[in-house]
Amino acid sequence: MASIRELKGRIGSVSTSEKITGAMKMISSAKMHKAMQALQRVEPFRHQIQSTIDNLLAADSQYTSPLTQVRPIKSVGIVLLGSDEGLCGAFNMMLFKQMLETINRIREEENEEVTFTLYPIGKKVVAASRKLALPSVKVAEIDYMNAKSSGEKIKQLCDELTQSFLGETLDRIEIVFMEFLSVGRQRLANRIMLPIVTETPDNIGECKPYLFEPDVTTIFDEVLPLSVLASLQESICQNRASEQAARVLAMQSANDNAKKLREELQLEYNKLRQQSITNELLDILGGKVEG
């Protein structure tokens, strides 16, 4: 059984941990709200761009673009989003497993000869990807990118991926990320970044012919690259908000466990202290009787 001195030290240590996890929860909560605000700015733009593309492609216009070209799958690029920091539960592990499942799914759907290029973003998934030993899977070095990169770096990555697709180095590019639904709910998601595909709305058959000004080629040449960039930006914002939400939940759980442990230790400390006082009183009383 632990002594009173040992229990007092453990209570102090657990109390300190409780304060730390509480502070980290508050910090993560503030970061999560900031990430949610960024997501609220990007998400409507991406949906509007996608809606525009869906309606224009459904109109009676003749247009083809290399960005919408569907080719036989020989090589696939996978952008794996993660976090730079830990203490967010199984967040990174779930994303890494989703990436492995994506590779297996594509091999089953296409053929076993498909090669993969992995683009990990975030220190945790980068470290895990470098240990990956799978046939036909190459890990790309994108040192300029991390989980907190600015819009300029995101655009640089988007341009690099687009050039790889246009140069037929990659036949498809998918993004693996965590979709933010609410503070307590996030889900794994895959998104095809290239080629651009239509997300057919329910009323797509009601689209009427469009009058294009200046011309259809000019419009699509502007809108399609914006769609690719918006898709990548929104996925990154979704992942950032989900990361902070996962960290809030992890810190809340740790804080609750620390509080429960502190209460248990305090109860045990009180019992030992009461027992010690009782023994001292018995010794005093025993001494008086003997005297």
Domain boundaries, the chain: 26-201+210-249
Judge whether 92 and 133 are in contact, CB under 8 Å. Answer: no
Poorest-pLDDT segment among 69-83, 88-102, 205-219: 205-219
Q: Find the distance separating the first CA and the last CA of the chain, reported in whole Å.
A: 34
In Å, how far from its chain's centre is CA 160?
22
> What's the rounded Cα separation, in Å, for the pair 190 and 68?
18
Mean pLDDT, residues 28-41: 95
Name the amino acid, one letter, at 112. E
In Å, how far from its chain's centre is CA 224?
25
**Which two three-digit tokens encode residue 105?**
């799914």
pLDDT digits (tens, 9 = 90+) for 248-269: 999 999 999 999 999 999 999 9
Q: Which pLDDT band, with edges at 50, 70 and 90, does 111 fall under?
A: confident
Residue 203 has pLDDT above 50, yes or no: no
Q: Which of 108, 105, 140, 104 minimizes the C-alpha distance to 125?
A: 140
> What's the rounded Cα separation, in Å, for the pair 59 and 57?
5
Judge whether 118 and 276 are in contact, CB under 8 Å. Answer: no
Which DSSP symbol is given to 137?
A: E
How buried is residue 266: exposed, middle or buried, by Cβ count under 10 Å (0-12/13-18/19+)?
A: middle
Reduced to 3 states (helix: H, G, I; strand: E, B; else coil), residue 202 is: coil
> What's the rounded Cα separation, in Å, for the pair 235 and 177?
6
Q: Which pLDDT band, with edges at 50, 70 and 90, does 199 fall under?
A: low
Please identify, in words, the CATH class of the domain defined by 26-201+210-249.
alpha beta
pLDDT in the model for residue 283: 82
> What's the rounded Cα separation, in Å, for the pair 66 and 110?
21
Judge whether 244 and 31 are in contact, CB under 8 Å. Answer: yes
The b/e string for 164-179 (b: 16+ C-beta within 10 A; e otherwise) is bbeeeebbbbbbbbbb
Q: pLDDT above 90 covers what percent of the chain? A: 70
Q: Which pLDDT band, with edges at 50, 70 and 90, does 216 fall under?
A: confident
> What's the rounded Cα separation, in Å, for the pair 238 and 48?
17
